[in-house]
Amino acid sequence: MASSSDATASNGSTPETPESGSAAGQDRRGRVRLRRAAVMAIPATAVAAGLMIATAQGALGVQFAISGMPFTVTATELNGTGFEQFGGLDNMAEDSPNAGDTGGQVLIITSAIKNATLDHLCQSVDLGGTNLLITAGSGADKVQANNLTTDSTELSGNASFNNIEIGNDASTLDKAGVQGPKGVFSQQADTVRIANLRQTNYATTAGVFKLPGLKLRFSDQGC
């Protein structure tokens, strides 16, 4: 997403304002730079916390203002029971610097899984010059999640489903305990398997998220 930028102008015939060429103006510009740095740092902290702390929102879908910064999630394999998928909109906080020309909204596809396991989970966020990288489930123990929801703009992999239903009204879904808006196209299945999963996400929630072998670090490369 594009970020807003400052533009200031003055000329010699106009009396100097507190925001131009004064100590107050310099202080204001310093605060703007500080806020921009915070915009980059806070989402990284939120992503790490979201993976390590169980949330109570997994069964309800996303109920928070997204940062507007996408993050990548990969896994060599995902297996789930109770699968649902439907379209929706995520909203950024008012006046988010990441809104660009979107009006602060992102068109997403929500995937909900009642119970899921993932092998070799990787998550990364591009912070501009470096990536916050999180890995887990690389050993004998797999990542486990229940009431998992992801809001994605892209999803790829080799998928297979058991007892799939395509074309449901999203408000009638019953496989994962999450319902979407009435009149929205959706699908659901008893089970799902996706090999070589890759997602571009804007939000993730889970009732429980167990991450064996968790590693969090900064890296030159993402997932």
The pTM of the full predicted model, rounded to 2 decimals, is 0.73
Count CB neighbours of 12 within 10 A.
5
Residue entry with tokens 């131009």: 20
Per-residue pLDDT of 76-114, as tens digits, reads 999 999 999 999 999 999 999 999 999 999 999 999 999
Which of 56-60, 105-109, 174-178 is predicted with the least confidence, judged by mean pLDDT? 56-60
**Listed residue (138, 120, 127, 130) closest to 218, CA to CA:** 130
Query: 126: which 2 tokens?
Result: 């591009």
Helix (H) or strand (E) holding 110: strand 105-119
Give the pLDDT of residue 64: 86
Per-residue pLDDT of 116-127, as tens digits, reads 999 999 999 999
pLDDT exceeds 70 at position 183: yes
What DSSP string describes 17-79?
A: PTTSSSHHHHHHHHHHHHHHHHHHHHHHHHHHHHHHS--S-TTT---S-B-S--EEEEEEEEE
The predicted model gives 166-193 an average pLDDT of 96
pLDDT exceeds 50 at position 162: yes
